[in-house]
Chains A and B, each alone.
Chain A
Amino acid sequence: MTDTATIEETDVNVDQSAKEAYFTAGQGQLIWSRFKKQRAAMVGAGVLILLVLSGLFAPFLTPYDPTIEGRNADYQNGAPNIPKFWDENGFSFRPFIYTYERTRSIETNFRWVTKVNRDKRRYVVLFPEGDKYTLAGITFRTHLFGVDEGKIHLFGTDATGKDIYSRTFHSINTSLAVGTIGVLIAFVLALIIGGVSGYYGGWTDSVLQMITDAVRTVPAIPLFMAIAAFIPDTVSSEGRFFIISIILGFIGWPTLARRVRTHLLTERNQEYVLAAQLCGASPGHIIGRHLLPSFTSYIIVDLIISFPYMVLSETALSFIGLGLKEPVNSLGVMLQNVTKADVLLNYQWNFIPVIFFIVLVLAFVFVGDGLRDAADPYADTKK
């Protein structure tokens, strides 16, 4: 009898402390505890962190420079090299690939032909010295892996001999950077326009809403294709990168602005706003200090949800040749030449980066969805 009583008592205690924790938890803790329960979102978050890290450390993780500097002139349109442990010549503890030799003779009709020399092995080595790169302001030469002689191309090479593996990782970096800048610009625009529109209401709101609606009616991609088409060719690739990010920011703002406005419209009649107004606070102060914090979590969720669309828009723009250009690496740039019949028939490894991007976008969608559910304060009561 006493045993069960104590057990019950501790149960109650646990229950009590859990409840107490629940009621005293901050917004962030509540969201996190709800987010943790969703398996798909957690997996998505894991994959996302992995991809972001691999994008950030791309120069170290990849063996070669992704630009024309790091190209392998002897191995153009080369098939992926898959490291092996054994073949007919025996087993090796160190993974190896074969040597490719380019020959041209009367037998090959004087064309360059790549031949595999199965007798010459190239062993995979860790931390070799290779192309120079800068990470966090320091210049390094060490890469994660490479081969002792010649070069290794895990995903093959493109028409100019650039390593697709290296380019893929670097392009994750580019996509994330473009997305971040784009989202930030969209965010600032949405806050200003949505904030003003929602706080003042009345005819300011009507006019701003009409403009927002008109902008929303125009199909964004064709419109921004038009803007991107007017970037002069003389702009450097870095300049282009920033212009494209700004354009992407302009794509995203109307939806976000509408959300901000709706939230402000419902919040601005609350008593704490009136209190602040009576204390003589300026509208900017009230919007920034009192109103926006009341739905920060929604804004963050919206930003994360709009992120993959930025990335995909950039890819689409670059793909049709209006976005980023060489030597900047991005998925769209890499896919520019793959619609040729030659590539479709013979060099399918050019499509490998697509897989990474679908995973990246899916991870973002999962995390965004999970966060949206987690940030919804009524999620628990609904079910």
Chain B
Amino acid sequence: MFHFLQFAATRAALAIITLIMVSFIVFSLMELVPGDCAERYLAFKNTQGSQISVADIEAERVRLGLDKPYVVRWGKWIVNAFRGEFGDSCILRLNISQLLGEKFYISLAICLTSLLIAYLIAIPVGIISATSKSPIVNNSLRLVSYLGLAMPNFLLALMIMLFSTIVFGDSLTGLFSKEFRDAAWSYERLMDFLSRAWLPVFILGWSATAFAIQTVRALMSDEVGKLYVLAASARGVTGRRLLWRYPARHSLGPIINSLGFDLNRIFNELPIVALILTLTEAGSLLIEALARSNDQQMAGAIIFLLTASIVGINFVTDIILALTDPRVRRSILG
């Protein structure tokens, strides 16, 4: 037990170090943006008719703490970030945690659901395609996974929009109907959300599934030919029981290990899919912050949160792996 705690603590420490490095990258990026928050805010005020002088900008800088050295501001930012506080948005002058709040969880839920569905499909399909000798099954599965790789999610989203506009006369976009957009959560709102959220889940899951099938297939076909599988079948274990108990269990480890990177890949696609489907969640807020308003505080917060959830997943999968894989378990439990 002590060894396990030690292992968990090391992993947690590593995760935090990674997050600190990531925060450095993100924070430096935010600093690279031409113009800072004070200038941006006062430029906005300028358009409202009030006269702004250089002294005003300096005063605003002092108020926001922008006059302090780089390292001090980074330290402050990261301490706040770990508490879930990202300060105020540069443009909207509203608290970022409040602006993001629900939207970030919706994004996370959509991405995790598509990841889950991807593996629910990929594990049986990958096992079948690795063990089946039929060329029809193999080639058609190969074609599907190639299409998943070659057709990036945003092109798929565009195609679905095109198709549904022609056939149904509705482009199937958005996450909520008009009447529920700002309503509080209720049963009706949840149903409305689910009736629209399946499309982004499907689109994000599309290439994730293709990748997952490839991974499962490669791992399984490596394992199926090994001697321990032959030995098990010599002892009389056959069929599904053989596959599930021997090679499938063996290839589970690398799959659990790769979950974090799969989530990374889904996050890559999220903003663009969100833009096309006009979803009102974190991905589209990120694009808005970057492409339209140059809101570095908001963009930094979103990228940091996305990365933090990947680091979190990596940590959890490490722990799960330690618990499920007897080899790892033994090495840490002693």
Contact = CB atoms under 8 A, between A and B. Distances in A.
A351 B25 CA distance: 37
Contact of A217 (B32, B150, B264, B287): B264
A222 B276 CA distance: 15
B166 interface: yes
A358 B21 contact: no
A365 B268 contact: no
B307 interface: yes
Interface in A336-379: 338-339, 341, 344-345, 348, 351, 354, 357-358, 361-362, 365-366
B33 A230 contact: yes
Contacts of B25: 214-215, 218, 223
Contact of B34 (A220, A221, A232): A232
Given A222-B306, A320-B287, A230 B154 contact: no
Contacts of A361: 149-152
B297 to A, nearest CB: 12
A315 interface: yes
A226 B264 contact: no
B29 to A, nearest CB: 5
B155 interface: yes
Nearest to A40: B142
Interface in B83-122: none
Given A214-B21, A222-B271, A312 B29 contact: no
A358 B154 CA distance: 12
A319 B155 CA distance: 10
A47 to B, nearest CB: 12
B176 interface: no
Contacts of A312: 152
Interface string B257-291: 00011001001111110011000000000110011
B306 A230 contact: no
Given A222-B302, A226-B303, A315-B152, A214 B290 contact: no
B294 interface: yes
B159 A354 contact: yes
A344 to B, nearest CB: 4
Nearest to A335: B158
Contacts of A319: 154, 272
A155 to B, nearest CB: 15
B287 A210 contact: no
Given A225-B271, A312-B152, A321 B158 contact: no
B242 interface: no
> What range describes how many residues of B lie at the interface?
35 or more
A173 B159 CA distance: 24
A344 B171 contact: yes
A150 interface: no
Contacts of B175: none
A341 B159 CA distance: 13
B29 A365 contact: no
> What range describes how many residues of A lie at the interface?
35 or more
A211 interface: yes
Contacts of B303: 218-219, 222-223, 226
B311 interface: yes
B268 A322 contact: no
B311 A217 contact: yes
A366 B146 contact: yes
Nearest to B29: A226
A227 interface: yes
Classify the secondary structure of A's interface with B. Answer: helix
B171 A341 contact: yes
A229 to B, nearest CB: 4
B276 A339 contact: yes
B161 interface: yes
B33 A345 contact: no
Nearest to B263: A219
Interface in B126-165: 146-147, 149-152, 154-155, 158-159, 161-162, 165
Nearest to A315: B152
B171 to A, nearest CB: 6
Contacts of B165: 341, 344-345
A221 B162 contact: no
Given A229-B294, A358-B150, A348 B287 contact: no
B152 A218 contact: no
Interface in B292-317: 294, 299, 302-303, 306-307, 310-311, 314
A305 B159 CA distance: 25
Contacts of A308: 149-150
B272 A320 contact: yes
B17 interface: yes
Contacts of B22: 214, 217-218
A226 B17 contact: no
B290 A322 contact: yes
Given A229-B294, A341-B165, A214 B18 contact: yes
A176 to B, nearest CB: 16
A322 B292 CA distance: 10
A230 B146 CA distance: 35
10 contacts: A210-B18, A221-B268, A221-B272, A320-B272, A344-B162, A351-B159, A354-B158, A361-B149, A361-B150, A361-B152
Closest 6 CB pairs of A and B: A219-B267, A214-B21, A229-B290, A221-B268, A344-B165, A361-B150
Interface of B: 17-18, 21-22, 25-26, 29, 32-34, 146-147, 149-152, 154-155, 158-159, 161-162, 165-166, 171, 260-261, 264, 267-272, 275-276, 286-287, 290-291, 294, 299, 302-303, 306-307, 310-311, 314
Interface of A: 210-211, 213-223, 225-227, 229-230, 232, 308, 312, 315-316, 319-322, 335, 338-339, 341, 344-345, 348, 351, 354, 357-358, 361-362, 365-366
